[in-house]
Amino acid sequence: MNTIEKFDKHVMHSYGRYPLVMQKGEGRRCTDENGKTYIDFGSGIGTNSLGYCDEKWADAVCTQVRTLQHSSNYYYTGIQAEFAEKLCETSGYDSVFFSNSGAEANECAIKIARKYSFDKYGKNRHNIITLVKSFHGRTIATLSATGQESFHNYFFPFLEGFINVNANDIDDLKSKLDNTVCAVMLEYIQGEGGVNALNQDFVNAVFELCADKDVLVIADEVQTGAGRTGKFLAGEYFGKKADITTMAKGLAGGIPIGACLTTEKCSNVLTAGTHGSTFGGNPVACAGGIAVLERLNSEGFLDEVSEKADFIRKELEKCSEVESVSGIGLMIGIKLKTKTASDIAKKALDKGLLVLTAKDKVRLLPPLTISMEEIKGGMKILIDILEE
């Protein structure tokens, strides 16, 4: 049996996979089992933020594996303390709960929002407003939060207490933000929903209306965070700091991680026994996270992310098949005039380039460390396919 046959025999068929068996990666290129190499414009859906097997990151991770690979959260570890300190300093937040994925980080945010409200106002103020076309994860609570009907199938009953508002529709928001609501949860740029950035007026309205009513703002920065947009958090673009921000994906450079960050207001909501995670704050993930933060905080790194993004956007705008380019920084959505995104992704794979799709768009989330030479190589492949 070859790898794909073995895989399909034993792994559940919950993904529509490409016929590519990844074997190894180096820098921003990966190699399949037949030795074919690919320039990676997807970084494992925005996760390999420093590319494949970055040397400093790999050293930090391997050293930690050989020192202490896991410890129960009933004990303290120096490495979790160090990562938490660096993450709070970098993000401007006061405290963090670590988990292992974006969905779990959002579960934590949902629990904090509901408990914050319960502690202060009692029952019946548990509703959370989320946006149409949002994506918050695959657990039952985060699927319930996700504002896309196509995700609300099969697994009934979903969790009550989520109300959807149209993105960028201030009147819709005002009409639904009543005294049953404890939080508004948003992605500044909806990723899975099609790489759609919110507009500034709407974001302003969310923060103003929520502040008036002591309703918390939860920013889901699972995809937009950790330097993806050229800022550490996309909220910085909008001049906003949510009460709660969730992160995952690129935060530890490819090791499972989730982080739920809170301002001082919510730092003491979770008390002993109210939340937990066996693997959350795992020492190896924390070592990976520290290596990522050190690189993101290094002189000029995030400016370079923006410069690289500008170059890609300008190249795309010159292409006759491109209708429009969306997103911020290295989170790029490409709306096409005549071709379909999934066909482009398949053709790109054939030609040695990995790209993603989001709804009807081609989506690019390249590693933040991608070089200009790799960008030019990948863009040549992509533009040639688009203009074919």
Binding residues for ligand PLP (CB under 6 A): 101-103, 106, 135-137, 187, 191-192, 220, 222-223, 248
- The residue among 50 and 110 lying less far from ligand PLP, judged by its C-beta, is 110
* Listed residue (135, 355, 89) closest to 232, CA to CA: 89
User: Nearest distance from residue 225's CB to ligand PLP, in Å?
Assistant: 9
- Half-sphere CA count of 161, side-chain side, radius 13 A: 18
- The residue among 115 and 133 lying less far from ligand PLP, judged by its C-beta, is 133
Phi, psi of 203 (to 5 degrees): -60, -45
- The residue among 196 and 347 lying less far from ligand PLP, judged by its C-beta, is 196
Query: Would you list the DSSP string of 292-349?
Result: HHHHHTSTTHHHHHHHHHHHHHHHHHT-TTEEEEEEETTEEEEEESSS-HHHHHHHHH
User: Nearest distance from residue 191's CB to ligand PLP, in Å?
Assistant: 4
* Listed residue (307, 313, 354) closest to 333, CA to CA: 313
Contact, 53 vs 40, CB < 8 A? no
Write the CB contacts of 179 (distance below 8 Å, at least 6 apart in sequence).
125, 213
User: Nearest distance from residue 231's CB to ligand PLP, in Å?
Assistant: 16
User: Nearest distance from residue 34's CB to ligand PLP, in Å?
Assistant: 29
- CA separation, residue 330 to residues 4, 9, 12, 23, 49 (Å): 31, 36, 32, 25, 11
Question: Is residue 349 classed exposed, middle or buried when 0-12, 13-18 and 19+ CB atoms within 10 A define those classes?
Answer: middle
- The residue among 103 and 348 lying less far from ligand PLP, judged by its C-beta, is 103
User: Nearest distance from residue 111's CB to ligand PLP, in Å?
Assistant: 15
User: Nearest distance from residue 282's CB to ligand PLP, in Å?
Assistant: 15
- The residue among 97 and 374 lying less far from ligand PLP, judged by its C-beta, is 97
- The residue among 49 and 125 lying less far from ligand PLP, judged by its C-beta, is 49
User: Nearest distance from residue 284's CB to ligand PLP, in Å?
Assistant: 17
User: Nearest distance from residue 135's CB to ligand PLP, in Å?
Assistant: 5
- The residue among 136 and 313 lying less far from ligand PLP, judged by its C-beta, is 136
User: Nearest distance from residue 100's CB to ligand PLP, in Å?
Assistant: 8
- The residue among 25 and 191 lying less far from ligand PLP, judged by its C-beta, is 191
- The residue among 173 and 259 lying less far from ligand PLP, judged by its C-beta, is 259
- CA separation, residue 185 to residues 16, 163, 190 (Å): 29, 10, 12
> Which residue's Cβ has the minimum distance to ligand PLP?
102
- CA separation, residue 39 to residues 193, 251, 381 (Å): 25, 21, 10
* Listed residue (247, 332, 329) closest to 41, CA to CA: 332
Write the CB contacts of 13 (distance below 8 Å, at least 6 apart in sequence).
none
